[in-house]
Each structure stands twice: as structure tokens, then as C-alpha cells.
């Protein structure tokens, strides 16, 4: 036993409430080190030999160095004191806050177990503190729309110099193609047929640029896109088709032409808005060293979200679009650079307007500090994006590392955060998936298959489904290709089939997930997804060689390939599969 590898932290993602009566307890050990790991627990106000219980833990995640054990416990009085018990061969070690004790339950060394002092503690499960993301997110398939580039439904709104909407149009930093909200309304049937259930809009409030991240008026749709009445109609018509709508909150910074900032530019230190921003030097001039900005972008002055007026203004914006217009959630731009206190108040405001609204932070890294239940429901899961791309698309890591990177994310958050995660493969900030795959459609499909059969809500970037490509911003922001003879119809029906598969089987959305093959040096991965209705085994070969894998520990049953109806019967819980390069199989239990 390597005791130095053992890790646990009370009241963290290692010990949290999953719902009003259930606690999840986790512990880390060295990989393949233990025969058995358990939690020994009891109520701290009634803690003695007869009342102490032992709950065995299971490995729920592994990476290249560690195993992570988990157990679900429902303590009768919603509180408990606990220690861990590690067993290997004839050695037993207990661990609580006072340290490790070598012994058996019957000798003096573990006398500590009969007293609650020194135990780890979960003092009380207060329902209001339970992190509860909206249920609907688990079932959602998101579709990201960059409004200037999706569809032009009202040519009368085109800004001056609007360029022609053609399949080979070239987006630049500052050109316009005339996309608008009426265009999206006109294409709702297309989205419904594709099967997506929530649109994620990049900003459509009044702003100067084509991407609209430099807001002028947060309470007004940009006139180039329509007006607030069009937005309301869009939300209503989307809802009528079972499609939700999430908007982009750019609260870290405003745009250069935001009237309060213009006032500071004009009136300097005398401006009544001077404290709305973080000004370093007067007289104020357009220079990112003169005031705090997003990055070093002078057009994006950072807002002072600690200021009561700024806070009141932005919280009213948050309320208005949810309550009055009916939006179903907010994606928060540059979420990690805004203060935590602001986000706590933001959550209270938004959830008061609609308890079911989804709050999604744009953070590209491990984000536990925002996922305790008092701020966001989820973050954009770029660490998972990168693992999927590195394995399936770039062939840079083997299956063992792929599993390790995904499982490292699973242990980073409480389970409800993983269930509501926002899993994207590309966005308006990255090259498109097909371009990352250097045009290799088969690799793109492997990545999409994984994304759409993994836990967390998948998001498709507009146009990927019809084979659009494009490099880094602005290349990834071409106008949507609508001419059918320029669309990849085969890819479109692949996406449609996958989305419908996910939507038809709960097991693929919030069923259990486990890797059943992820060998070091291998390019093949296989995993199981299951609930009490159905069970799937999915395997994919991301390599350039044919590989044979033997899957074990699958219990009883017969599986059918969804592609060609081939039947696979389990023999002693085992299944052998041979996969040619870039082949994937989806097997469903009969």
C-alpha cells in the first residue's frame, strides 16, 4: 500500500451532497494498489461499536497514476462522521483526520474509531446547499449559432457594405453578411428536424463589431438583427417546437461605445460613471494600458462588477432576458475574470426569474471554484474537448491517456456537474472540427460519435453537420451553407441519426459510463453506457492499424450492432471485436 498516494478532502468534490438525502464520498489511491476500500461511518451524536457501519467503495475513475473510489451513502440523519478502511492481502489500514492507523477493528490501534473526534465529518446535509443543475440539461442537444452568419431573413436590416452570402464567402475580422433573428426563425424547422433541443446564441445585443462582444446596449437587440419583439417571437416559436434558447452574457467588459464608457472618455474624472470601470490614468484615451480591458483589447473596457450601480444594471439585464423575453439560460463570457460575489448574486437573480434556467460559465480550465452550487451549473468543458480531439482526431494520445484525461475531469467535479457539463468539439473561438481533422471526415465522425454518447450535454457548432470547414477565428465564422448541393448530406444524416439515437435512449444521456477497454499503446477505446432500460457497448479505433480487443466483465447477454444487425453473444462475460482503422461500432443489448 502506498499511503502517500491516498487523498481525500472533506466538503469538496470528494465529499458532497448529490441530492437532499444522498452523499457521495470519494477517495484516491495509487493505481491497482488496494483489494478493497470502504468508508466506516456513523452518526457523530450516536457513535459506538453497534451503530458504526461499513460501506464498500467502487473504483469509478482511473488515470495513469491513481484509482478513484466512490460510494453513495444516505445517512439517516443527514450527517455523519467517517473514516476510510484500506485492505490489501492481510493488511488493513484505517485513515481519519488524525492520520493512518495500522490495525484490525479488534485491537487498540483503532480505538479511535469508537469516538467521533478525529473522524472526517459531513456535519449536515442542508438542502439549500445542494448543487442542483436543471434536469433538462441532461437531455439537451445544444446547437451554437453565431447570429451574423446563420441566416438572413430580413434583407432590409442589412448593414451598409453587407457582402454576398455564398458558399465560398470569406469572413474577415470586420465584414458583415446580414444574418439576423428572422433568419433563425425561418430555419427553426431545420433545427427541429436535425433534432437539437437548445440554441446557444453568441451575443445579439446592440454592439459595434460583427461578433457583438463589444456591447453598446445590453437591453436591446442589435438593429442589424431585429428588435426585442423579434427576439421574443424567436423564443416563443422555438419553445413551440421544444427548443430552448440560451443567450451570451458579456458582463466582464462592455464595448467601447457603451454610453457610460463614452461618458468617462468625455468627462474624465468628473464623469459620474468613472467607477463603473477600472481606470488607471487620466486623461482617458483609447489605450488598453489606460484602463483594464478584456485581454489588451481597447474596445473592451473591463466593467467594475463590484460597483453597486453596475451590479444593479447587469442583474436587471440578467432578469429581463430570462423573465420578460423567456430565454432559458445564460452563457457567461470570460466568466473566470468576474468576481465570485457578483456571480452568486447573478445566480440568485436568474434562478428567481426562472429556477430552471441554465447558467454556463465560459472557462477553459478546471473550474471547481465555480461549481459548488452557488454560482454556475456547468462550464464549457474544453478539457474534455481537447482529450477527444487528441485521441480521435489528432491521434496524439493512446487509449490509456484518453481514459486518464476524461476520468481526471470526472473526479474534478461533483457528479451533477459532470451530468450537466457542456461538451463541445469546436466553437466560434476555435478552428472547425473538420479542419482540425484536416478534412478527414471519418475522424470527425469518431469524435462526434463519442461526444454524442458521452455524459454531459453535447453542443454542435452551426454548419459542422453539413461539412463546413474553417480555421481559427475569423475563418470558423463563415456564413452557413444552405444550398443542398453544397452541403454534405451524408454527414447531415449521420448527425441526425446520432442525435436521434441519443434522444431515444436515456442510457446514452445520463446512464452509467465506464471504460471497458483503454490499453496503453492502443488506439482503440471501448465503453459501456447503461441504465435499467438499455445497455450499449461502443468501441472505436482511432488508429491506422486493424486492432482486435477482448472486452471482459460484461456479464450476460447478446448485443446487436446498430449498423448491420450482426449479433454478438457474450461468452463468460467476454466479447471479442476486430476493428479496422477508423471503424466504430455501436452495440445495443438485445
Any idea which residues carry the catalytic annotation? 333, 362
Q: How many CB atoms lie under 10 A from the CB of residue 489?
A: 11
> Is the Cβ of residue 310 or residue 334 nearer to ligand ARE in the bound state?
334
> Is the Cβ of residue 428 or residue 535 nearer to ligand ARE in the bound state?
428
Which residue is nearest to ligand ARE, using beta carbons? 213
Task: Please name the residues in contact with 308: beta carbons below 8 A apart, sequence gap of 6 or more.
Answer: none
- Whose CA is closest to 325, among 357, 303, 362, 361? 357
Shortest separation between residue 408's beta carbon and ligand ARE, angstroms: 17
Chosen residue from 362, 464, 469, 528 binding ligand ARE by CB under 6 A: 362
> Is the Cβ of residue 22 or residue 262 nearer to ligand ARE in the bound state?
262
Chosen residue from 84, 143, 165, 213 binding ligand ARE by CB under 6 A: 213
Residue 346 contacts ligand ARE per CB under 6 A: no
Residue 294 contacts ligand ARE per CB under 6 A: yes
Shortest separation between residue 461's beta carbon and ligand ARE, angstroms: 12
Chosen residue from 6, 279, 334, 409 binding ligand ARE by CB under 6 A: 334
Chosen residue from 112, 250, 279, 420 binding ligand ARE by CB under 6 A: 250
Shortest separation between residue 427's beta carbon and ligand ARE, angstroms: 7
What is the C-alpha to C-alpha distance for residues 437 and 431, in angstroms, rounded to an integer?
A: 10
> Is the Cβ of residue 41 or residue 294 nearer to ligand ARE in the bound state?
294
Shortest separation between residue 411's beta carbon and ligand ARE, angstroms: 21
Burial 387-396, CB ≥16 within 10 A → b, else e: bbbbbbbbee
Per rule CB under 6 A, count of chain residues that contact ligand ARE: 14
Shortest separation between residue 373's beta carbon and ligand ARE, angstroms: 23
Determine if residue 383 is left, alpha or beta; phi over 0 gives left, psi from -120 to 50 gives alpha, anything else beta: alpha
3-state helix, strand, coil in the chain (%, to 5): 30, 25, 45
Greatest C-alpha distance within the chain: 85
Residue 249 contacts ligand ARE per CB under 6 A: no
Residue 211 contacts ligand ARE per CB under 6 A: yes
Helix (H) / strand (E) element for 493: namely helix 489-504
Answer yes or no: are the C-beta atoms of 350 and 330 closer than 8 Å: yes
Measure the CA dihedral 166/169/173/174, to 10°: -50
Residue 390 contacts ligand ARE per CB under 6 A: no
Residue 78 contacts ligand ARE per CB under 6 A: no
Task: Please name the residues in contact with 188: beta carbons below 8 A apart, sequence gap of 6 or more.
Answer: 237, 238, 241, 243
- Whose CA is closest to 537, among 587, 468, 464? 587
> Is the Cβ of residue 20 or residue 173 nearer to ligand ARE in the bound state?
173
Answer yes or no: are the C-beta atoms of 136 and 90 closer than 8 Å: no
Task: Please name the residues in contact with 520: beta carbons below 8 A apart, sequence gap of 6 or more.
Answer: 398, 399, 400
Our CA angle for 201, 205, 207, nearest 5°, is 120
Shortest separation between residue 198's beta carbon and ligand ARE, angstroms: 18
Residue 330 contacts ligand ARE per CB under 6 A: no
**Grid cell locating 311:** 451590479
Residue 462 contacts ligand ARE per CB under 6 A: no
What is the C-alpha to C-alpha distance for residues 420 and 529, in angstroms, rounded to an integer?
A: 17
Answer yes or no: are the C-beta atoms of 529 and 453 closer than 8 Å: yes
DSSP state of 202: P
Chosen residue from 97, 103, 473, 488 binding ligand ARE by CB under 6 A: 473
Locate cell 483526520: which residue?
A: 97
Secondary structure (3-state) at 30: strand
> Is the Cβ of residue 85 or residue 405 nearer to ligand ARE in the bound state?
405
Answer yes or no: are the C-beta atoms of 252 and 334 closer than 8 Å: yes
Looking at residues 139 to 178 of the shown chain, list those that interact with ligand ARE (rule: CB under 6 A): 173
Answer yes or no: are the C-beta atoms of 77 and 124 closer than 8 Å: no
> Is the Cβ of residue 313 or residue 364 nearer to ligand ARE in the bound state?
364
Shortest separation between residue 367's beta carbon and ligand ARE, angstroms: 11
Residue 428 contacts ligand ARE per CB under 6 A: yes
- How many alpha carbons lie under 13 Å from residue 179 in its C-beta half-sphere? 27
Chosen residue from 67, 70, 292, 333 binding ligand ARE by CB under 6 A: 333
Chosen residue from 163, 429, 488, 531 binding ligand ARE by CB under 6 A: 429
- Whose CA is closest to 418, among 426, 408, 427? 408
Residue 364 contacts ligand ARE per CB under 6 A: yes
Shortest separation between residue 31's beta carbon and ligand ARE, angstroms: 28
Residue 370 contacts ligand ARE per CB under 6 A: no
What is the C-alpha to C-alpha distance for residues 51 and 394, in angstroms, rounded to an integer?
A: 54
> Is the Cβ of residue 405 or residue 502 nearer to ligand ARE in the bound state?
405
Residue 426 contacts ligand ARE per CB under 6 A: no
Helices (H), 165-307: 181-186, 188-194, 228-240, 259-267
Shortest separation between residue 499's beta carbon and ligand ARE, angstroms: 24
The rounded radius of gyration (Å) of the Cα atoms in the chain is 26
Shortest separation between residue 155's beta carbon and ligand ARE, angstroms: 25
Report the DSSP beta bridge partners of residue 361.
Answer: 332, 379
> Is the Cβ of residue 430 or residue 583 nearer to ligand ARE in the bound state?
430
> Is the Cβ of residue 463 or residue 467 nearer to ligand ARE in the bound state?
463
Binding site for ligand ARE (CB under 6 A): 173, 211, 213, 250, 294, 297, 333-334, 362, 364, 428-429, 473-474
Amino acid at each position: 500500500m502506498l499511503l502517500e498516494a491516498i487523498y481525500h478532502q472533506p466538503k469538496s468534490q470528494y465529499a458532497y451532497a448529490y441530492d437532499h438525502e444522498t452523499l457521495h464520498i470519494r477517495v484516491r489511491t495509487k493505481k491497482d494498489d488496494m483489494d478493497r476500500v470502504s468508508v466506516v461511518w456513523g452518526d457523530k451524536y450516536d457513535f459506538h461499536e453497534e451503530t458504526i457501519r461499513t460501506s464498500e467503495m467502487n473504483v469509478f475513475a482511473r488515470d495513469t497514476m491513481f484509482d478513484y473510489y466512490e460510494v453513495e451513502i444516505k445517512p439517516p440523519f443527514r450527517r455523519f462522521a467517517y473514516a476510510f478502511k484500506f485492505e490489501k492481502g492481510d493488511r488493513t489500514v484505517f485513515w481519519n483526520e488524525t492520520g493512518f492507523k495500522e490495525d484490525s477493528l479488534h485491537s487498540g490501534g483503532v480505538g479511535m474509531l469508537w469516538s467521533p473526534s478525529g473522524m472526517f465529518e459531513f456535519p449536515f446535509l442542508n438542502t439549500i446547499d445542494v448543487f442542483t443543475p436543471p434536469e433538462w440539461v441532461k437531455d439537451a442537444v445544444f446547437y451554437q449559432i453565431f447570429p451574423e452568419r446563420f441566416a438572413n431573413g430580413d434583407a432590409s436590416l442589412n448593414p451598409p457594405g453587407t457582402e454576398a452570402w455564398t458558399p465560398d464567402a470569406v469572413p474577415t475580422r470586420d465584414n458583415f453578411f446580414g444574418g439576423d433573428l428572422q433568419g433563425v426563425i425561418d430555419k427553426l424547422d431545420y433545427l427541429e428536424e436535425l433534432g437539437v433541443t437548445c440554441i446557444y446564441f453568441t451575443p445579439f445585443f446592440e454592439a459595434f463589431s460583427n461578433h457583438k462582444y463589444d456591447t453598446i446596449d445590453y437591453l436591446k437587440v442589435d438593429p442589424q438583427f431585429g428588435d426585442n419583439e423579434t427576439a421574443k417571437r424567436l423564443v416563443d416559436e422555438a419553445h413551440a417546437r421544444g427548443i430552448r434558447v440560451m443567450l451570451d452574457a458579456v458582463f466582464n467588459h462592455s464595448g467601447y461605445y457603451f454610453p457610460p464608457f463614452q461618458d468617462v472618455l468625455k468627462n474624465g474624472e468628473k464623469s459620474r460613471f468613472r467607477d463603473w470601470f477600472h481606470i488607471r490614468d487620466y486623461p482617458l484615451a483609447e489605450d488598453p494600458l489606460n484602463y483594464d480591458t478584456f485581454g489588451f483589447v481597447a474596445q473592451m473596457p473591463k466593467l467594475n462588477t463590484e460597483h453597486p450601480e453596475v451590479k444593479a444594471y447587469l442583474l436587471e439585464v440578467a432578469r429581463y432576458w430570462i423573465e420578460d423575453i423567456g430565454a432559458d439560460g445564460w452563457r457567461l463570457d470570460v466568466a473566470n475574470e468576474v468576481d465570485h460575489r457578483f456571480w452568486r448574486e447573478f445566480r440568485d437573480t436568474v434562478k428567481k426569474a426562472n429556477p430552471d434556467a441554465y447558467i454556463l460559465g465560459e472557462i477553459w480550465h478546471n473550474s471547481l471554484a465555480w461549481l459548488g452550487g452557488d454560482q454556475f451549473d456547468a462550464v464549457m468543458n474544453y478539457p474534455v474537448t481537447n482529450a477527444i480531439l487528441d485521441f480521435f482526431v489528432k491521434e496524439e494520445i493512446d487509449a490509456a491517456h484518453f481514459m486518464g484525461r476524461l476520468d481526471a475531469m470526472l473526479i474534478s467535479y461533483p457528479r451533477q456537474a459532470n451530468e450537466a457539463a457542456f461538451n463541445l468539439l469546436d466553437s466560434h473561438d476555435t478552428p472547425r472540427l473538420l479542419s482540425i481533422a484536416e478534412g478527414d471526415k471519418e475522424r470527425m465522425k469518431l469524435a462526434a460519435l463519442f461526444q454524442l454518447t458521452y455524459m454531459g450535454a453535447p453542443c454542435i457548432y452551426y454548419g459542422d453537420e453539413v461539412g463546413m470547414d474553417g480555421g481559427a477565428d475569423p475563418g470558423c465564422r463563415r456564413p452557413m451553407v444552405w444550398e443542398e448541393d453544397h452541403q454534405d448530406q451524408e454527414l447531415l444524416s449521420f448527425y441526425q441519426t446520432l442525435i436521434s439515437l441519443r434522444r431515444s435512449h436515456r442510457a446514452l444521456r445520463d446512464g452509467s459510463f465506464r471504460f471497458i477497454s483503454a490499453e496503453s499503446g492502443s488506439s482503440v477505446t471501448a465503453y459501456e453506457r447503461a441504465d435499467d432500460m438499455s445497455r450499449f457497448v461502443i468501441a472505436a479505433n482511432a488508429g491506422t492499424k486493424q486492432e482486435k480487443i477482448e472486452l471482459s466483465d460484461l456479464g450476460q447477454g447478446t448485443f446487436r450492432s446498430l449498423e448491420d444487425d450482426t449479433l454478438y453473444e457474450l461468452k463468460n462475460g467476454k466479447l471479442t471485436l476486430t476493428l479496422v482503422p477508423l471503424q466504430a461500432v455501436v452495440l445495443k443489448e438485445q
